[in-house]
Amino acid sequence: MTDSLVIAPQWIGDAVMTEPLLRRLHARGEKLTVGALPWVAPVYRAMPQVGEVIEFPFQHGGLQFKARRSMARRFEGRFDTAYVLPNSIKSALLPFLASIPRRVGYLGEARVGLLTHRLKNPRDKPPMVAFYSALSGEPGLATDRPCLTLASGEVDAALLALGLTRGGYYVFAPGAEYGPAKRWPATSFAQLARTLEGPAVLLGTAKEAELCEQISVGARGHCLNLAGKTSLAQAFAAISAAKAVISNDSGLMHVAAAFGVPQVAVFGSSSPLHTPPLNDRASVVWLKNDAAYQPPLDCAPCFERECPLGHTRCLKDVTADRVLAALEH
């Protein structure tokens, strides 16, 4: 059996998209250890094919050479292969310093000498699952769907701690780390909450607590604001047991898709052609796809953090009724 180290991406959504790759590697007999930053590690603990998750003590940004060299010494002689999923030079540095014989990754940031097996970055924007799955040496399949799994007892314990009942609530994930051009307005989330039959649980980071509080106030008692009050593992459990999830194009959107729960994803500046929720129970609301919407959104997708035209019509014009209709579809 091959012992393989997987260097994980730093964002939750990207981490979810790597699951088909890891499933493929495990199926061909590779014993997988994932090295991940702490805020991504829970994603890999929800993948049964991963034997061990090692949390890296690195900070966001900076080379942190000494810390990587120290960690690399722990890995010397342990692994046969390393899969470097991020495109940065710092992520390829650790497997190189650990002298892992086979080091696989995409070309990028002048790291040719750090990798032994190098793939060229595609010119277009392929689906992320296919992008990562290609690192296995085999093409990704259109049928590949990320899948996350939590033990029933783990979910029950999290729900008990949060005061939730399986299937008794909706989850709203109104944040989007990338920027406001990916966030459906708080007033729209609040209006939707007032129309649902059942409470909406607001999930997000501590940085999104104020945004979630605006929604909670506007929803007039129809929301439970847990933003910044749960661990990521608890948030995953709450998502997996929800009646449905309503979100922007975000990491938690991909988490909900991987758990296979009913969901509606609202897209604005980004494109569901590139990062769709890979879930047969998902509906996407994107005004770019609506021929009846006038005037047409020729500016979408712009992939900008903030609307360069200053109107953010792609999100502000999405009504709560429209999202409700998608939810009930």
Residue 59 has pLDDT above 80, yes or no: no
C-alpha span between 57 and 248 (Å, rounded): 30
Instruction: Delimit the domains of the chain by residue range.
Output: 2-136, 152-328
Convert the pLDDT of each residue in 275-322 to its tens digit: 899 999 999 999 998 988 999 999 999 999 999 999 999 999 999 999
Give the tens place of pLDDT for each residue, 152-170: 999 999 999 999 999 999 9
Token pair 């609506």 in the structure block, residue: 290
Q: Fold for domain 2-136?
A: Rossmann fold (3.40.50)
CB 119 within 8 A of CB 106: yes
Confidence of residue 142 (pLDDT cuts 50, 70, 90): low
Q: For 244-262, what is the mean pLDDT?
A: 97
* Dihedral angle computed from the Cα positions of residues 289, 130, 38 and 210, in that order, rounded to the nearest 10 degrees: 0
Percentage, residues of the chain above pLDDT 90: 85
Q: Do domains 2-136 and 152-328 have the same CATH topology?
A: yes
Residue 253 has pLDDT above 90, yes or no: yes
Evaluate whether 114 touches 97 at the Cβ level (below 8 Å): no
Q: Is the pLDDT of residue 1 over 80?
A: no
Q: Which amino acid is at 5?
A: L
**Residue 139: pLDDT band with limits 50, 70, 90:** confident
Whole-angstrom distance, CA of residue 118 vs CA of residue 205: 36
Phi and psi dihedrals of 175, rounded to 5?
A: -85, 170
* Domain 152-328, architecture per CATH: 3-Layer(aba) Sandwich (3.40)
Taking all residues of the chain, what is their mean pLDDT, rounded to a whole number?
Answer: 94
Token output for 29: 């007999």
